[in-house]
A and B are shown apart, each in its own frame.
Chain A
């Protein structure tokens, strides 16, 4: 249900994994690499993780979502390695009988993944420098 991947994410496979005849609603979140951060132009992003712990904590988060929301299935996958602008870094899919739970669980999942899974990103800027990112204050408030 939660995995770390070094290969590009397969959105159709993730979507297919949550489909179920009992589910009328499917929601998803896609986290993409964007070209700017705090006024600086980003060339690429490098993701690093503690792979064993990331998968353990990721699985725990998925289980919490299954327990707390009226959803049927949920999957999430986080990519690591060197990603270009526009690449998919993380994806979450949720299915449930009705839409409200699917939206709420989706938000819970991506917020929790960002707060609790040991993954880091290093920004490579167009001026040739690079920097490990500190936690964005907005992320704490789910922006």
Chain B
């Protein structure tokens, strides 16, 4: 187990390197530059800028410097938000996105697993069909449609929740973003849980448990869910990667000061240090989370060997 974790952590490092290298090359290969505007700069000023940001050095020196800085966790200063280091921006925006993301995923897990399990236990019942149709709607409804719909209903008609503001973590302003973000995961998880449970409920060890005379509740919760929810667990890895995109859209809709909003703006402003900083941070988080999922697999499913 320990060796497995160490080995996986060692694999994670080159993967972050790959992501960083890709991003950096895209930025470098792209035509134009963050200082190039409509009007050409005077040659002297351009030279000064290039010198200040090290752009006059050969590409391998720049690349080496970028990798070195990233390894030390120092991404430099934002070009757009002058005077703020990338780390300051990350420190300010990550908690917002993380709060929304974690709440949304937790909500999705609770609702999705419950609905999926009930649907599997009562296969072909009205609840099964109803919840699966709902799940299909959830998968197909883009969150930039669902979000505004919720805003129209709960903010602009019923006046329950604010349409676009951020009041910190325990506040009414969280409700709509979390709901919007969690819908698609709820749907995915419900479908995965149902499929996994259906398969497990037909297996031999469940029949044995029934033959022993255990009550159905006990069988479903203690025996079947353990195996039936493995697909949900393995979905949690990629889900986090999609969660990043989802958060970007939700942060846009609800005007939240999260990292996704900053990521898009950083890209549009060609704010290279900020782009690289966010890419590095998020890929590390995602890769570590994938590792966590793999480790959890071993705890839940004793057949898995490292």
| Chain A partners chain B | no
Q: Which B residues fall within an 8 A CB radius of A? A: none
Q: Which A residues fall within an 8 A CB radius of B? A: none
